[in-house]
């Protein structure tokens, strides 16, 4: 039986840098359509303290999510040194499809996967392309699905992409709009007979009954007319924080148990970049539950300068580390790596991987 290994990685970080000062003239409103009482300067300062975000990246006006995904995919294919026509699956994780500038309309017909396959000029009809909407954990879940295809013998090689332009679906009068950003990351996952490497185990959970609506689409905080039907990302921030800190460590522990790997053996935890304080609290809870001291540099963080690009955060981090562009972080042969994410649904997942 084959084990799934990461053959190549790629990412695309948009060139447009949006720092916190960009929002200094923004008028923020509460969900009840009333102005936020604190000054914008105070709001931005508090926001930075909580999230750790000082800047984020936005796509250019002539770029769509599928364009970003294509650029990341091209790098992953080149890094893997494979013939693109040998791909069995292209799985693209996203939330909103191709959203045009100055519009927040979702466009997923055709799928982003089909658009990216077209952009890559892959002619092989046996290369199946489909999308996976799974909230921010979408890319990790797409890797899990690709792993199933490979382990079953249905596929030898899969391209797994996470791409998003969240900057185009945010409410400009909502403080949470400063969290989100754009970007794309990709990997080539390939079957290998070297069974000591690759994906060792995973865990996935959906907590929908009580938590499904913690992240949802809703009206703007400041609607100038009652006929405004636009919908934006809305989040119950405190409840998302509490949910993540409670449940993500348990899911990671479950994956480690399935892999028969001790937390003390883990060299890197690549966790979805949602909120700096939340991610730190998750790691603290994880290690406290296991009775293990948190190692130095265990958790790379890109949110401070890249923001939250949803499905793109984890594969982007992986690519930056592999390309030695994220000092002091590195991954060596034999290292145990954890991938983990949490997001809308509410969905949680984790993968244990041996490099």
Indicate which CATH number applies to the domain containing 65: 3.40.47.10
Q: How many domains does the chain have?
A: 2
Asked if 172 and 242 sit in the same domain, the reply is: no
Domain span at 143: 3-194
Asked if 34 and 121 sit in the same domain, the reply is: yes
Asked if 262 and 337 sit in the same domain, the reply is: yes
Q: Which of 55, 345, 10 is nearest to 205 (CA)?
A: 345
Average pLDDT over residues 171-176: 89
Q: Which long-range contacts (CB under 8 A, 24 or more apart) does 146-150 make?
A: 146/4, 146/89, 146/91, 146/189, 147/4, 147/189, 147/199, 147/202, 149/88, 149/89, 150/2, 150/4, 150/189, 150/190, 150/191
Answer with the one of 194, 228, 261 that is the final residue of a domain.
Answer: 194
Asked if 181 and 225 sit in the same domain, the reply is: no
Instruction: For residues 341 and 286, give the distance between their C-alpha atoms in angstroms, rounded to a whole number.
Output: 14
Asked if 158 and 205 sit in the same domain, the reply is: no
Which pair of structure tokens corresponds to residue 124?
């092989």
Answer with the one of 175, 194, 213 that is the final residue of a domain.
Answer: 194
Asked if 210 and 157 sit in the same domain, the reply is: no
Beta bridge partners, 349, equal 204, 341
pLDDT in tens, 225-257: 556 778 888 888 899 999 999 999 999 999 999
Share of the chain above pLDDT 70, in %: 99
Integer-rounded Cα radius of gyration of the chain: 20
Average pLDDT over residues 148-169: 95
Answer with the one of 125, 159, 194 that is the final residue of a domain.
Answer: 194
Which pair of structure tokens corresponds to residue 14?
């948009």
Q: How many residues does the chain have?
A: 355
Average pLDDT over residues 139-147: 98
- Tell me 78's DSSP state: H
């Amino acid at each position: 039986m084959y084990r799934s290994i990461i053959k190549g990685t790629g990412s695309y970080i948009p060139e447009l840098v949006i720092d916190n000062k960009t929002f200094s003239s923004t008028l923020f409103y509460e969900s009840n359509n009333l102005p936020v009482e604190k000054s914008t300067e105070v709001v931005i300062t508090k926001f930075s303290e909580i999230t750790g975000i000082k800047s984020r990246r936005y796509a250019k006006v002539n770029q769509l999510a599928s364009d970003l995904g294509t650029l990341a995919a091209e790098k992953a294919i080149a890094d893997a040194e494979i013939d693109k026509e040998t791909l069995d699956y292209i799985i693209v994780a996203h939330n909103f499809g191709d959203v045009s500038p100055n519009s927040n309309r979702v466009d997923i017909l055709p799928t982003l996967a089909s658009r990216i396959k077209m952009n890559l000029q892959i002619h092989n009809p046996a290369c199946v392309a489909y999308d996976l909407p799974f909230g921010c954990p979408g890319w990790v879940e797409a890797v899990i699905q690709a792993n199933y295809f490979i382990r079953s013998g249905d596929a030898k090689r899969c391209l797994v992409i996470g791409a998003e332009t969240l900057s185009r679906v945010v409410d400009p009068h909502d403080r949470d709009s400063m969290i989100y950003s754009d970007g794309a990351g990709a990997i080539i996952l390939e079957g290998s007979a070297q069974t000591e490497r690759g994906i060792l185990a995973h865990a996935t959970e959906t907590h929908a009954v009580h938590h499904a609506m913690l992240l949802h689409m809703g009206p703007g905080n400041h609607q100038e007319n009652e006929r405004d039907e636009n919908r934006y990302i809305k989040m119950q921030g405190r409840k998302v924080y509490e949910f993540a800190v409670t449940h993500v460590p348990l899911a990671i522990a479950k994956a480690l148990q399935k892999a028969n790997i001790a937390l003390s053996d883990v060299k890197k935890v690549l966790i979805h970049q949602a909120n700096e304080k939340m991610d730190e609290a998750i790691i603290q809870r994880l290690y406290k539950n296991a009775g293990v001291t948190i190692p130095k540099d265990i958790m790379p963080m890109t949110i401070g300068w890249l923001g939250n690009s949803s499905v793109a955060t984890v594969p982007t981090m992986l690519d930056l580390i592999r390309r030695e562009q994220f000092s002091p972080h590195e991954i060596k042969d034999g290292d145990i790596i954890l991938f983990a994410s949490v997001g809308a649904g509410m969905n949680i997942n984790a993968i244990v991987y041996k490099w």
